[in-house]
Amino acid sequence: MFTRTARTLTAAALAAAGVGLGAVGTAQAATASCGYINIGSPGNVNLHGMYAGQVEQVYNTCNGYTWAHFQWATAYQQGPYRSDTVFVSINSWSNGGQVTGPVSTAVKDVDSPGMYIHDANPDTFIAYAQVSCAAAWGTWHAYANGANWGGPAPYSC
């Protein structure tokens, strides 16, 4: 789990780099210790010889929830396989996961339901995406100490 100091330092570093941390859909500025951050590295999905998109883990420093975010590649969305669908999930090491139903390429950004990080022991999570026969996952991340256990892993078919 990130400490308040670590969140503040991360937010300050992002703010210095010009990255906004405000909540989606609001014009108000976020406080320096609260916002969304991407965790670890994303995993790429390649399908039919094309880059289809990537999945990454997102963490809300305000409420302690994490979820998986998948974004389709524009060229894949507009290509001959645009009828494909993706299942996106956030999985904990010990406490199962949350998954979307199949979501088509018509939806650019797909988010899994979130999971509260302290409901799992250990509080370690991974973002996962499955498109047809291809799958990928981002970095396994342990919130208790900030360690990354491995990944990302791209798969192609």
Contacts of 126 (CB under 8 A, 6+ apart): 57, 90, 91, 137, 138, 139, 140, 141, 151
Is 86 a member of any domain? Answer: yes
Is 127 a member of any domain? Answer: yes
Range of the domain at 129: 34-156
The per-residue pLDDT string of the chain (157 residues; one tens digit each, 9 = 90 and over) reads 333 333 332 333 333 333 333 333 333 444 457 899 999 999 999 998 899 999 999 999 999 999 999 999 999 999 998 889 999 999 998 888 999 999 999 999 999 999 999 999 889 999 999 998 889 999 999 999 998 988 888 777 7
Is 28 a member of any domain? Answer: no
pTM: 0.77
Is 16 a member of any domain? Answer: no
Is 143 a member of any domain? Answer: yes
Q: How many Cα atoms occupy the beta-carbon half-sphere of 131 within 13 Å?
A: 34
What total of structural domains would you count in the chain? Answer: 1
Residue with tokens 């798969």: 155
- For 75, the token pair is 């060229």
Cα separation, 55 vs 50, whole angstroms: 15
Is 152 a member of any domain? Answer: yes
